[in-house]
Amino acid sequence: MAGSFWPGLRPASFRGVPFDAFEEHSEAGGRRLVRHEFPLRDTPYAEDMGRKAGQWQVEAFVLRNRWADYEAARDRLRDALNAAGPGTLIHPWLGQMSVAVDSYTLRESTREGGYCKFSITFVEAGSLTCPDIQADTAAGVEEAVNAAEEAAEESFLERLNMLPEDLESALSFAEGIADTVINCLNTGSRLLSDVKSQIRRVIAIPDRLAGALLGLVTSAMGLSSLSGLGGTAGSSGSSDSGAPYSFGGFDQDAFSAMLSTRRDGPDEPWEGAAPGASGAGVSTVADRVYAPIIDYVAAVTVAELARQAADTEFSTADDALAAFEIVIGALDSVQAAHCADAVYAALDDLRAALAEDMVERGAKLPRLGTARLAATMPALAASHRIYGTAAYADEIVSRNNIRHPGRVPGGVNLEIVRHD
């Protein structure tokens, strides 16, 4: 069956070296099975491990009357079959294929001079697909968060010097800090009664107090995330809504106000402070109690905020960047409040780990853009107008805080995700 003589058949070649004909060919395939047979059980189990590599058996010829130099044509094909690596086979029936040569035999005889027969076994070459190795940047953030919290706790236990006469004002101050943390994370008052009850029980035991304050922060952070205030909800803020990006429900102003009390204590003694506590007395209590508590709570709040950022699946690179800026802003505030050297260094390491994580993940996320519709229309129509498909209608509605999906406003800038 000469490929050049039969209509519809392709001229045969391997690695660009032509040969004259296929006398016949066969193909083998199937599944890679591992057969399991069990003692005292008649039914076997065949475990399917995937498709077998394709295999083709080809009977090819080189004819003297087709080539001016028969020996050279034969040797070129033999060299192509012996070459390393996969090559392109043009199969008269099957077309172009990427194959490797498993084996071949060459047969010539004096009785059939000027004629040689190649029996070739080709196998599917496939491709070398290596796993995509990625750095586990989230694990680096987790490690840095734990180190920062450990450093903050050590500093807290070292600096806290609560005298018996400080207990009442310390309790009141710690309960006030609990209120502030709730306000910073916008979680409402669901935690307050339980947290305050726990603080009252452990106020005189520094390590237990540290655990209670850390529990306050982590619980409030969890409620903030569950209530939809995390980075996956909302948007980076469109020009029309004017709503800033909210990550973790974090209130930077309330956080800064809390830090401002660490140096001088509250403007007035907290409710329940020791009688006559004012002026120098409050300042002394601030040094012994207030500042250590605030510094510890502030440090673990920033650490837990960074943990939440690393755990959040952001929808766009802009959302990831906005969350990163919120965390870094809070971290800067803590470091500027003259925290302990060990805590400062641990927060620096946390900053670097979070930056690496955000850059690594943000590079793989789509960016935000804007679109303007000529007229008000349903979300499905708006999605089709912007993207050429109705698949992103819900995204347009949620990202732009549109009240009704039947009326996406025209004539205004809409925030959209660039699904390139």
pLDDT at 356: 92
pLDDT at 346: 93
Q: What are phi and psi of 62, to 5 degrees?
A: -125, 125
pLDDT at 132: 66
Fold of 13-124: Elongation Factor Tu (Ef-tu); domain 3 (2.40.30)
Domain 368-417: state its class. Answer: alpha beta
pLDDT at 236: 45
pLDDT higher at 215 or 355: 355
pLDDT at 256: 80
Instruction: Judge whether residue 131 has pLDDT over 70.
Output: no
pLDDT higher at 149 or 227: 149
Instruction: Judge whether residue 290 has pLDDT over 60.
Output: yes
Q: Kindly list the domain boundaries of the chain, sorted by start residue.
A: 13-124, 137-362, 368-417
Instruction: Judge whether residue 379 has pLDDT over 70.
Output: yes
pLDDT at 417: 87
Give the tens place of pLDDT for each residue, 45-54.
Answer: 999 988 888 8
pTM, two decimals, is: 0.59
- pLDDT grade, residue 70 (50/70/90)? confident
pLDDT at 191: 61
Give the tens place of pLDDT for each residue, 187-226.
Answer: 655 666 777 787 878 777 888 888 888 888 887 776 665 4
Average pLDDT rounded to a whole number, residues 280-300: 75
Instruction: Judge whether residue 288 has pLDDT over 70.
Output: yes
